[in-house]
Chains A and B, each alone.
Chain A
Amino acid sequence: MRRYYRMLMTVLFLTMAFALSGCSGAQYIVLDPKGPIGQSQKDLIIITTLLCAIIIVPVLILTAIIVWRYRDRPGRKASYQPHWEHSTKLEATWWAIPIVIIAIIGVVTVNYTYMLEPSKPLESDKQPITIQATSMDWKWLFTYPDEDIATVNYIKFPEGVPIRFQLTADTAMNSFWIPQLGGQLYSMSGMAMTLYLQADEQGSYYGSGANFNGKDFAQMTFTADAVSQEEYDKWVSEVKGDAPVLTMDGYESLTSPGPSDVQLFSSFPEGLFDKIVTQYVEEGGGGHGHHGASASDPKTDDSQTAFNTNSTQNEHAGH
C-alpha cells in the first residue's frame, strides 16, 4: 500500500506542477491593460497583492515550521508546554499586525475608489465620444448619438480619446466589460450608468457581457477596436454610406431573444436609448394583477415616449 501511495504522490505532484506552469503563451488580458483605467486597476491589483503577501507568506512559512518542529516523535528536542494558553503580548501582536495591514490596504482602497469612480470624466484635452450600450437578450446594441450610427456586438473608436459609455439593459441586468481597458459596470434596465474608458493603443480588444442574463448569455461577447482618428472617421462615413438604417421595427426585431452576428446601421431612431431607459416607467399607473401578467411588455406603447428625464434617468453620480 505504501509503495502505491508514493507513486500516487509523484503523479499528483506532477499534475499540480503542470497545472501551475502550464500557462505559458496564455493571454492574461486583465494584466495587460491598454488604457489609463485598466492601468490604474492593474497597479492597484499589484499593490494590494503585495500588501497581502507581506503577511501571508510569513504565515505560510511559520505554519510549515511549526507543524514540522512540534510533530510528536521519539527523542524530539522541542519543548512541550500543555498548559501554555495565553500571552497578552503575543496576542496583542497578532491583533495589531492585521489591523495595520488592513488599515494600509483600506486607505489605498478608499483613495482609489474615489479616483477610479466609473462616472468620473477622464482628464484629457480631447472631447469625449459618447457610446450608448444596451444589453439585450442576448446581444449588445451600441448607439453613437453624435455620429448617429448604431452597431450590434461591435464597437470602434479612436485611440487616445476618452469614451463615455452610457449603459442600460433592455431586460435582465448584464455587465459591460472590456478587460484591457478597465473594469466592468452593470447595465441595468431603467437606468443609464456612466463608465469612462480610454484606449491608449490601437488594437482589437475583447469585450463581454459579464453577468449571467439567460440562455445565450455566453454569446454576448463583442470586439472593441481602437483605431487612429482618421481610420475612425473613415469607418463612420462608410457606415453612414453603406449600412442599412435601424428603424423602430428593426429595433423591435432585435429585442426578440436570440444571439446576433455583428451588424452595422447608418442611423437609428432618435432618442432610442432614452426610450429604452424609460420603457418601464408607468404612465398613469396602469393596473394589472393576475398570475402571469408580469410578462406583459409595455415597450410597444408609444405614449411612453413622453417621460420625465429628471426622475427616471438615474444618471450615476457617485456622491
Chain B
Amino acid sequence: MWDKIKEFSSEFFVTGDPLILGAQVSIGLTLVAVVLVLTYFKKWRWLWSEWLTSVDHKRIGIMYIICSILMLFRGGVDALLMRTQLAAPELEFLTAEHYNQIFTTHGVIMILFMAMPLMFGLFNIVVPLQIGARDVAFPFLNSLSFWMFFFGAMLFNLSFVIGGSPDAGWLAYPPLSELSGSPGVGQDFYIWGIQISGMGSLATGINFIVTILKMRAPGMKLMKMPMFTWSVLSSSLTIILAFPILTVTLFLLFLDRYAGAHFFTLDGGGNPMMYINLIWMWGHPEVYIVVLPAFGIFSEIVSTFSKKRLFGYSSMVYALMSISIVSFFTWAHHFFTMGSGANVNAFFAVSTMIIAIPTGVKVFNWLFTMFRGKLSFPTPMMWTIAFIPCFVIGGMTGVMLSVAPADFQYHNSYFLIAHFHQTLIGGVVFGFFAGLYYWWPKMFGFKLHEGLGKWAFWFWNIGFYVCFMPQYALGFMGMTRRFNEYNFDMGWQPLNVVSTVGAFLMGIAFLFQVWQIAHSIRFYKKEPTGDTWNGRSLEWSIPSPAPMYNFARTPIVTSRDDWWEKKERRRKGEPELPHVAKAEQAPLEPIHMPRNSGVPFVMSFFWFIAGFGFVWDWTWMVIPGLIGVIVCMLVRSFTYNTDYYVPVDEIERTEAAARGAH
C-alpha cells in the first residue's frame, strides 16, 4: 500500500529538481499564509461576497489585473532562467528538458495568461465608464469569463508542481505534442488550461461587442466613441472570429491524445501540417487582438497629454478595422519555409505587408496629435512616447520578415525572436502599462508614485533595448531559437551576455513597479477629483474610484471628447446645451443593477475539476465535474431574482460621500 502511494506520488508530483522543490514549498507556505490571514482577520465572508461573487465590471477588472501581474512575475522568472542558461556556451544551469518546459510555459503564460487578462482587465474597467454604461451587457457572463480564465490559468500553472510542465513549444506543434512526442500529462494540462480559459475569452469578446453596440449613452454615435472603445470593438470582433479556431484545434488534438484519433498524427492518415495552419489561423489574429487595444490606449493618452483632439479620428477607425480584417489573411507567413510554393508565399507576403499601411497611418496620426499640442510627460505619456520608436522599428523588422524569400534566412532565428518581442513588449506591454498608469486613479482613487514609476520606466526601456537589439544580430549570426546550449566556436557568447544583462534590467524594472505599487498604497493620498489627468472622455466625469453604479444619471453625449467639451463650455462660462442641462437637472431615479452570484465561481471550479480529470484520464473525476457544470447552468436558468434597484436615497448618499471629498 505504502509503495503504491509512493509510486503514485512520484508520478503525480514533480520531483527531483531543487528549483521546483523550492517552488512547491513556497507555494504551500503562501497558501497557508493566505488562509491564516483571511481567517485571522475574519475576511472570508468579505472575500466571498465582495469579490468572488461580484459581477461588478470594475472589480472583475481589478481581479484580472492582479492575476496578470502575478502571471507577469512567473513568465518573467521563466525568461530570466532562460537568459541565465544562455549567458555562456555549454552552460549546465538547466537541463534540456527543463529548458524546453520553461520556454513553452513562458510563451503560453505571457500571451494567454498575462497579456490577455491584462487586456480584459482594462476592457472591463474602462469600456462601460467610457460609454456611459452601468455595467457590461451580460454581467453574469462577465464574471463567468473571469473565473473560467482564472481556473484555466490555475490548471495550466499546476503542471509546474503536479505532473510536469508541457514542453512542446507555446503552440505545441504535433507530432511533438501528440502522445508519441509527449507521453506525459504536461501537454494535457496545456490543452485543458487553454480550453477552459479560452471559452472565457470568447465570452468576453461577445460581451464587449454587445456592450459597445447596445449600451452607449444617448447621443454617442459610433463615430463619437472614444478611440479605446473602438479598439476594444475591433479586438472583440477579432476574438469571436479567431478563438473558435483555437478551441476546435485543441479539441482535435485532445481527441488525438485521449481517444486515439488521427487528425494530426504521423500515421493513420493524420497531417501535422494541418495543425500548424489551424493554430496560426488563430495565432496570428491573436497578436492583433492584444495589440489593437494597446493602440486604443495610446490614442487616448496621446490626446489627453497633448491637450488636443485626436488627429485623424476616422482614419484611425478605418485603420483599426482594416487591421482586424487583414489579420485573418496572413497566417501562413509563420511558415513560409513549409514549401507551399511561390504562389502561396507571394500572397501571404503581400497580405502581411499590407498590415503595415494602416499601422503606419496610425503612427502618423499620433505624431500629428502631438503636433501643435501642449505636451506634458507623466508616466502614461512617457510609455506612449517610448512606444512609438520601439514599435516603428518592430514594424520595420516585421516588414523585413514578411519578405518571403528573405524570411528563409530569418525564420526560427533570433532575428524573429527579437522582432516579436519588440512588437509585443514595445507595443502590447508598453501599451498596457501606459493604460494601467493612466486609469489606475480611476480604479483605486489614488495615483501611483511618479518618481518610482520613472525609474521603472527607464529600467524597462533600456533593459529592453539591451536585451533585444543584440538578438537581431544573433539572428544574423545563425543562432536559432529554442537552443538550450551552443558551442564556443560560434562567437555567440558576447551578445548573449549583453542580452542577459538586459533581461535582468527588465527584472529590476518589475521590482521597481512592485515597490511603486506598495509605496503608493502605504502613502495613500486620495485623488481630490475624479479627473486626475484633465481627461477628455466620460470616465473622467465621475468620482474616483467610480461608484458601484458608475453614473448617477445617464450622461447625454454631444461630441467626441464630450467631457473635455463640457469643461471648455464651463470654463468659458457658456450655458450648457439645453437637452443636456435638462437631463442633468432631472431628479435621480432608482438604478437597475445586477445581483452578485456565486454560480460563475462554482461552475468554473467544476470545469477545473473536469479538466483535471481529463488531464489524468480519471473518468471518476471528469463525470462529477461535468455534472457540476450542468447543475450550475440549471441553477442559473431557474434563478429569477437576478437584479435589484438601488434606491434614490442611497445614490444621494454615495454621491455626496464621493463628491464631498473635494
Binding site for A on B (CB under 8 A): 96-97, 100, 169, 173, 175-176, 178-181, 183, 256-260, 262, 265-269, 271-273, 306-315, 335, 337-339, 341-343, 345-346, 349-350, 353-354, 356-357, 360-361, 363-365, 367-368, 370-377, 385, 388-389, 392-393, 396, 399-400, 402-409, 411-413, 451, 454-455, 458-459, 462, 465-466, 469-470, 473, 475-478, 480-487, 490-491, 494-495, 498, 501-502, 505, 617
Q: Which residues of B contact A172 (CB under 8 A)?
A: 173, 175-176, 181, 272
Q: Taking A19-B502, A296-B267 as contacts, is the C-beta distance between A212 and B169 under 8 angstroms?
A: yes
A26 & B176 in contact (Cβ 8 Å cutoff): no
A214 lies within 8 A of chain B by Cβ? yes
Contacting residue for A8 out of B365, B409, B412, B458, CB 8 A: B458
Flag whether A112 is at the interface (Cβ < 8 A).
yes
Q: Does A12 contact B (CB under 8 A)?
A: yes
Q: Is the CB of B462 within 8 A of A16?
A: yes
Judge whether B337 and A186 touch: CB under 8 Å.
yes
Q: Which residues does chain B contribute within 8 Å of A203, judged by CB atoms?
A: none
B421–chain A nearest beta-carbon distance, Å = 15
> Who on chain B is nearest to A45 by CB?
B406
Which stretch (A140-148, A177-185, A236-244, A246-254) binds chain B? A177-185
Least distance between A284 CB and chain B CB atoms (Å)? 12
Enumerate chain B residues within 8 angstroms of A56, measured Cβ to Cβ.
Answer: 392-393, 396
Complex interface residues of chain A between 1 and 52 (CB less than 8 A to chain B): 1, 5, 8-9, 12-13, 15-16, 18-20, 22-23, 25-31, 38, 40-42, 44-45, 48-49, 52
Contacts of B308 in A (CB 8 A): 80-85
> Is the CB–CB distance between A294 and B342 below 8 Å?
no
B353/A82 in contact, CB under 8 A = no
Q: Which of B310, B372, B411, B482 contacts A184 (CB 8 A)?
A: B411
Residues of B within 8 A of A190 (CB): 266, 271
List 9 contacting pairs A-B, 8 Å CB cutoff, sorted by A.
A38-B409, A67-B385, A80-B372, A85-B309, A99-B357, A109-B350, A114-B342, A172-B272, A179-B409
A113 to B405, Cβ gap below 8 A?
Answer: yes
* Complex Cα–Cα for A48 and B224 (A): 39
Q: Does A262 sit within 8 A of B, measured CB to CB? A: no
Contact stretch, chosen from A86-94, A122-130, A149-157, A226-234: A86-94
- Least distance between A313 CB and chain B CB atoms (Å): 14
Given contacts A27-B490, A45-B406, A294-B260, contact A86 B470 (CB under 8 A): no
The closest CB in chain B to the CB of A38 belongs to B409
Are A282 and B406 in contact, CB atoms less than 8 angstroms apart? no
* B345 proximity list for chain A (CB < 8 A): 113
**Which residues of chain A are within 8 angstroms of B96 by Cβ–Cβ distance?**
215-218
| Contact B408–A182 (Cβ < 8 Å) | yes
A17 to B313 Cα, complex, angstroms: 39
* Contact A48:B403 (CB < 8 A) given known A114-B346, A179-B478: yes
Residues of A within 8 A of B269 (CB): 282, 285
Q: Give Cα distance in the complex from A94 to B350, angstroms.
A: 19
- Residue A210 interfacial (CB < 8 Å): yes
Across the two chains, which residue of chain B brings its CB closest to A171? B175
Indicate which residue in A18, A105, A212 contacts B498 across the interface (CB closer than 8 Å): A18
Q: Which residues of A contact B312 (CB under 8 A)?
A: 85-86, 90-91
Supplied contacts A81-B372, A82-B307, A110-B350, 18 more A-B pairs, CB within 8 Å = A22-B498, A28-B476, A44-B405, A63-B388, A72-B376, A81-B308, A82-B309, A83-B308, A85-B310, A86-B312, A95-B361, A105-B403, A182-B408, A185-B339, A189-B266, A212-B176, A317-B341, A319-B341
Give, as a whole number of angstroms, the nearest-CB distance from B272 to chain A: 7
Cross-chain contact B476 with A171 (CB below 8 angstroms): no
Complex CA–CA separation, A242 to B374 (angstroms): 80
- Cross-chain contact A72 with B349 (CB below 8 angstroms): no
Q: Shortest distance in angstroms between B320's beta carbon and chain A's nearest beta carbon?
A: 14
From residue A147, how far is it (CB to closest CB) to chain B in Å? 26
Instruction: Assess whether A98 is in contact with B361, with CB atoms less than 8 Å apart.
Output: yes
Query: Of B315, B403, B466, which contacts A15 at CB under 8 A?
Result: B466
Nearest-neighbor residue (CB-CB) of A78 within chain B: B372
A41 in contact with B408 given A8-B458, A52-B396, A289-B260 (CB within 8 Å):
yes
Chain B residue with Cβ nearest A318: B341
A16 pairs with B403, CB closer than 8 A: no
From B260, B353, B365, B388, give the contact of A106 (CB < 8 A): B353
- Contact of B498 with A318 in the complex, beta carbons under 8 Å: no
Chain A residues with CB under 8 Å of B462's CB are 12-13, 15-16
> Could you give, for residues 168-212 of chain A, a 1 whenever the CB lies within 8 Å of some chain B CB and a 0 otherwise?
000111010101001111101110010000000000001010111
